Amino acid sequence: MTTGDNLFGRLLKRSPTAAHDLPDRLGVPPTGLHLYLDGNGDVLQIAGPLRHLLAQHKPHDRPLPLSAYVLPHSLLSIEGQPRDWQGQLLDLDFPGLNDQPLHLRGWVQVLGDGWLLQMLDIADLLLERQQSRHRDACQTLAAQISDHLRTCSLTRLSTVLGEQLQAIAQRWHIPCLAVALLDEQTQGWQIHQQFRGHDAPELWVDGQRLGTPLDSLNGSAPQRLDGQQGQYEHSRLQATFGNANGFAVPYSNDHGVVAWLLCGFYSVDAVAPWLTDRDWLTLAGALAGPLLSRLREQRHQQSMERLESLQNLLGTGWWEINHEAISVAPSLATTLGLSECTLPVEDWLMFFHPADRDELRSRLRALQLQGEALTLSVRLHRAEAGQAPAWYRIQGQVSGTGEHRRLTGFMLDISDIQNQQQRAAAAHARLDNLIASSPAVIYVQRYEEGALIPAFFSASLQPLLGWTLADCDAAALGERVHPDDREVYFQRSRQLLREGSVRTRYRLRDSRGEYHWLLDEAKLLRNDLGLPVEAVGLWLDVTDATLAAEQVRQSEERYRILVEDSPAMICRYRPDLTLTFGNRPLATYLECAPEQLPGIDLGGWMSEEQRAAFLQRLTQLTPQHPVSTAEISLQLPGREHAWWVWSDRGVFDERGQLVEVQAVGRDNTEVRRSQQQLTQSAKMATLGEMATGLAHEINQPLNVMRMAIVNVLKRLGNGDVQVDYLTDKLHRIDAQVQRAAKVVDHMRVFGRRSEIEQQLFNPAQAIEGTLSLLAEGMRGKGVDLRISETGFEAQVRGYVDQLEQVLINLMVNARDALLSKRENDSAFKPWISIYVERDEENVRLWVEDNGGGIDPRLLERIFEPFFTTKPIGVGTGLGLSVSYGIIANMGGELSVRNSAQGARFCIELPLATDDQITR
Ligand code: ADP
């Protein structure tokens, strides 16, 4: 569609009858517009086809001047008369139909006596001119746009593009304008950048993905889109342009259409009819061409920057050798500390460690001369000592031939890897060394069809067993297992395959024929499918440990036998007296099996007091004095009292706390019994000895009673029966009966066996008891008894009858000494004195006589059993010895000294402590 078409369209459609009704003054049919003027310029007639297009074309009744027909701005051209216009081209605009002006050009020529103004339509001409003006403007703008986009810095590219879009939009009144580029990844179109007038709706945004609808447009020419007419082939395309008028200008390069300039809400023919498709293509090219190239440049620069930073990070960079000079990447020059990026190869080599330099030089030469590719790891030569070396990998190659032959390569900092590798290698070497020198052998067995085939042994195999891998196929190994352990060995492989791991022990023969105990721990490794691949394991030589354990076991066995077979009772118990172990003899005493002993309460066989005393004794055990021995008494099942001599040894923890007691005991019951019997027989002997005294003791009341009875009978014979008298006598008899009964009672008590348990008592009781038995007899023999006050408070622990026995012994001995002295000296006045003393801790009972004392040479011996100075049959020699034992058993001491007149015996007894008394 061109403007020329419009004209013909106008002519053809709107003036079909124009030709035949024209008046013909020239004799030929007029073309354009013919105006016949008179000499003044008044229009006489109008002819020609164009007259139908004039708003006013019919001549009036009166001719009007030409100026009345033209538009005002054309008046200047027709000032004066037609004569004046001769020889000029007149451009006149006439008001046309529909207010469309007619642009006409013509000239006047004389016609008869008037003038003919012959005019042609120059609308085409004008349009072309306008178009060319617009094209010029358009090209200028395009050049500017292109210039701006090409020259701006990359950082301003987007701003500049925005400005250029704005310039175009404003210039041609485009409400929405955008550049869409092809996104290479999605192969879809994307709004790269858009501009819209401040009152325009938002059609697009930057970065908006449009997809592929633009592909449906013809990419060789600008496309007009009219939403109203439904010309879109694709509804998505319509949507892209907001279902309104649109205009899309393609930009193509070798790859086809790569950009679109999109104008939204834009009816191009109405708004900018002057712009040809070429102009639009030029504009689009001016925008998209530089934009794409700048974007490429931007991408390139970014990738260069990335590369650069990557090189910096990696410590890598290129190098190139040209003749004898080398150029290196600037970043590399900086890290290497080079002052120049280009320097003689020989100077460059100086930066490397002397140890690597020669090799590098020779390899470079091989590269230069033979084109041998270069790959080498080298160290930098560092001045500072003690720093980890910087390692570089240098690679180089020859490319091109002839003039284009180049020697290029790169250097890569591999210090980290190299140092790590070295550390790893060192660690590996240490590990190898460790494995080789350890008593462990690491092995790998390959799994093959259910069998495990030795595939690797660590080097320690040789020193340990004297074999190499070659000596150890599966069959040979089985052979070398100790015959007793073969079952265990084959079981091991089966268990390993079944359960995935195994830990066992067996003996293996070494190359010298000696057996080693090996602890074998192995694990089965499986692949991703769960199928066995190989077994990895460890042999640890545990021969020493196994033998030691065996020795310990044997010694434990011996110890156990010793303990079991010992006649002594051996046990361990906790501080609360719960047994943890006891041997057979103990079990026998306790009437149970040895296995039943643990858990039994040892204190269960003791009385409350014995148990308390036992525990009290344990509290005195300390790590410094862990041993205590005592005689303990127990009430064993079905027996009388048992007496055990019991030795405890405390076991303490690190804080000195008693955790266990180990005890050894021996039955002392028999000894105890015989001792008791001895005491008893001594007691009986004492009683025997006292018989005379006792007879006297009982005779005395009998005599009194007999006298009373005789007197009463006499009175009765006389018939003299006075009630008061009789009563008095009977009371006397009763008193004497009581007195005799008391003596007999006490004798009976005294003659009884002692209690098992010690009791608390006042020693005064014993003195009283003694006197009740002896006093009368003594006095009967003329011995003066001097008894001092005995009513004092004191408590001792022991047996009151035994203390009495001691006192009787001492008094009887004193009596014997006194009487034998009086035999020689009838004037002698014998006396026995008993008195008591006490202090804070002890009570002392003194028995003193004036019998002349004991021969000092015998003083040492009188406490020995069977020592007596008395004739055979009279003395037993047991009295003092038994007495000594009794007092010692009560924790006291019996001693003797000679006083001026006789012997002075002292019984010292410890006073019971307060807690003993309260218990
Ligand atoms: P026995 O009285 O049967 O001889 P003892 O053991 O009681 O046995 O006494 C041993 C000896 O000690 C006596 O034989 C006697 O020589 C001496 N003896 C004991 N008490 C006295 C005493 N009070 N005075 C002198 N000698 C004594």
Looking at residue 16, what is its pLDDT?
A: 36
Is 85 among the domain residues? yes
Task: Please indicate whether residue 682, judged by its CB atom, sits closer than 6 Å to ligand 1.
Answer: no
User: End of a domain among 636, 667, 698?
Assistant: 667
Q: How far is the CA of 861 from the centre of ligand 1 (A)?
A: 10
User: Looking at the structure, do residues 775 and 895 belong to the same domain, yes or no?
Assistant: yes
Question: Tell me, what's the pLDDT at 464?
Answer: 84
Q: Is residue 554 part of a domain?
A: no
> In the predicted model, is pLDDT for residue 295 greater than 80?
yes
The C-alpha torsion from 188 through 190 and 192 to 194, rounded to 10°, is: 150
Question: Is the pLDDT score of 14 beyond 60?
Answer: no
Distance 813 CA to ligand 1 centre (A): 5
Whose C-alpha lies nearest to ligand 1, atom 10? 868
CA of 803 to the centre of ligand 1 (A): 18
Contact 579, 597 (CB under 8 A): yes
* Residue 736 exposed, middle or buried by CB count within 10 Å (0-12, 13-18, 19+): buried
Q: pLDDT confidence of 818, banded at 50, 70, 90? A: very high
Query: Is 46 inside any structural domain?
Result: yes
Amino acid at 319: W
Instruction: Give yes or no: residues 11 and 39 share one domain.
Output: yes
pLDDT of 845 strictly over 90: yes
- Domain extent, residue 640, equals 566-667
Going from the Cα of 792 to the center of ligand 1, the distance in angstroms, rounded, reads 29
Q: What pLDDT, in 10s, does the model give residues 670-696?
A: 888 887 787 777 777 777 766 666 676
- Answer yes or no: is the C-beta of 500 below 6 A from any ligand 1 atom: no
The rounded Å distance from CA 501 to ligand 1 centre is 88
The CATH code of the domain that includes 469 is: 3.30.450.20
pLDDT reading at 163 higher than 90:
yes
Instruction: At 641, list the tokens.
Output: 């009292």
Looking at the chain, the whole-number percentage of residues with pLDDT higher than 70 is: 92
Residue that has been written with the tokens 């019996």 in this structure: 894
* Residue 657 and residue 680 in one domain: no
Contact 515, 508 (CB under 8 A): yes
Report how far ligand 1's centroid is from the alpha carbon of 573 (Å): 48
787 CA to centre of ligand 1 in angstroms: 21
pTM of this structure: 0.40
Q: Which residues make Cβ contacts (< 8 Å) with residue 450, sequence separation at least 6?
A: 497
831 CB within 6 A, ligand 1: no
Could you tell me if residue 743 is inside a domain? yes
Cβ(289) to ligand 1 under 6 A?
no
571 torsion bin: left (phi>0), alpha (psi -120 to 50), beta (else) = beta
Q: For residues 848 and 868, state if they share a domain.
A: yes
810 lines ligand 1 (CB under 6 A): no
795 C-alpha to ligand 1 centroid (Å): 29
Residue 816 alpha carbon to ligand 1 centre in Å = 8
Whether residue 428 lies inside any domain: the answer is: no
Burial class of residue 819 (count of CB atoms within 10 Å of its CB; 0-12, 13-18, 19+) = middle
Q: Amino acid letter at 413?
A: D
Between residues 8 and 50, which one has the greater pLDDT? 50
Q: How far is CA 706 from the centre of its chain?
A: 107
CA 877 to ligand 1 centroid distance, Å: 7
Distances (CA, A) of 89 to 85, 107, 128, 431, 699: 8, 5, 19, 111, 202
Please state the rounded mean pLDDT for residues 453-471.
Answer: 86
Ligand 1 centre distance from Cα of residue 853 (Å): 10
For residue 902, which atom of ligand 1 is closest to its CA?
A: 24
Q: Which of 813, 818, 854, 855 to mutate to test the pocket of ligand 1 (most atoms within 8 A of CB)?
A: 813
Is residue 421 in contact with ligand 1, taking CB distance under 6 Å? no
* First and final C-alpha spacing in the chain: 138
Integer-rounded Cα radius of gyration of the chain? 73
Structure confidence by residue, pLDDT tens digits, 382-427 = 766 667 778 889 999 998 888 889 999 998 888 888 888 888 888 8
894 and 776 inside one domain: yes
Question: Residue 863: CB within 6 Å of ligand 1?
Answer: no
Q: Is 875 in the pocket of ligand 1 (CB under 6 A)?
A: yes
Is 426 inside a domain boundary? no
Q: Going by CA atoms, what residue is nearest to atom 11 of ligand 1? A: 868
Do 753 and 804 have their domain in common? yes
Residue 885 near ligand 1, beta carbon < 6 Å: no
Ligand 1, atom 19, lies closest to the CA of: 813
139 and 224 both lie in a single domain? yes
Indicate the SS3 state at residue 17.
coil
User: Residue 175: which CATH number?
Assistant: 3.30.450.40
Residue nearest to atom 3 of ligand 1 (CA): 875
Nearest CA to ligand 1 atom 23: 814
| Centroid of ligand 1 to alpha carbon of 862 (angstroms) | 7
Cα–ligand 1 centroid distance for 740 (angstroms): 29
**248-259 pLDDT, tens per residue?**
999 998 888 899
Q: What is the mean pLDDT of residues 454-472?
A: 85
Annotate 692-743 with DSSP letters as a single string: HHHHHHHHHHHHHHHHHHHHHHHHHHTT---HHHHHHHHHHHHHHHHHHHHH
- Ligand 1 centre distance from Cα of residue 818 (Å): 11
Whether residue 801 is found in the same domain as residue 899: yes
CA of 817 to the centre of ligand 1 (A): 8
Contact (Cβ atoms closer than 8 angstroms) between residue 89 and residue 71: no
pLDDT digits 0-9 by tens, 66-124: 888 888 888 888 888 888 888 888 888 888 887 778 888 889 999 888 899 988 888 78
Same structural domain for residues 800 and 892? yes
User: Is 749 a member of any domain?
Assistant: yes
Distance separating alpha carbons of residues 332 and 315, to the nearest angstrom: 7
Residue 429 lies in a domain: no
Mean pLDDT to the nearest integer, 258-280: 87
Query: Does residue 543 share a domain with residue 631?
Result: no
Which residue has the least CA distance to atom 26 on ligand 1? 854
Residue 637 reports pLDDT greater than 80: no
**Which of 809, 849, 869, when mutated, tests ligand 1's pocket best, judged by the most ligand atoms within 8 Å of its CB?**
869
Distance 875 CA to ligand 1 centre (A): 8
pLDDT of residue 187 exceeding 50, the answer is yes
> What is the model's pLDDT at position 316?
83
pLDDT at 1: 39
Ligand 1 site-directed mutation target among 861, 880, 886, most atoms within 8 Å of CB: 880
Query: Is the pLDDT higher at 789 or at 595?
Result: 595
CA 447 to chain centre: 36
Angle between helices 123-151 and 157-171 (to 10 degrees): 170
Q: How many whole angstroms separate alpha carbon 273 and alpha carbon 6?
A: 12
- Report the domain count for the chain: 6
Full DSSP string of 277-340: HHHHHHHHHHHHHHHHHHHHHHHHHHHHHHHHHHHHHHTEEEEEEETTEEEE-HHHHHHHT-S-
Kindly report the protein residue whose alpha carbon is nearest to atom 12 of ligand 1: 862
Q: Which ligand 1 atom sits closest to the C-alpha of 877?
A: 8
**Hey, which of 868, 887, 897 would you mutate to test ligand 1's pocket, going by the most ligand atoms within 8 Å of its Cβ?**
868
Helix, strand and coil content of the chain, in percent to the nearest 5, comes to 45, 25, 30
869 C-beta closer than 6 A to ligand 1: yes
Mapping DSSP to helix (H, G, I), strand (E, B) and coil, where does residue 448 land?
strand
Are residue 459 and residue 404 in the same domain, yes or no?
no
Q: Report the pLDDT value the prediction gives residue 24, as an integer from 0 to 100.
A: 47
Determine if ligand 1 sits within 6 Å of the CB of residue 311.
no
**If you average pLDDT over every residue of the chain, what do you get?**
84
**Which residue is closest in CA terms to ligand 1's atom 13?**
868
Ligand 1 in reach of 879 Cβ (< 6 A): yes
Res. 11 pLDDT band, cuts 50 70 90: very low
Same domain? For 168 and 284 the reply is yes
Q: Ligand 1 within 6 A of 898 CB?
A: no
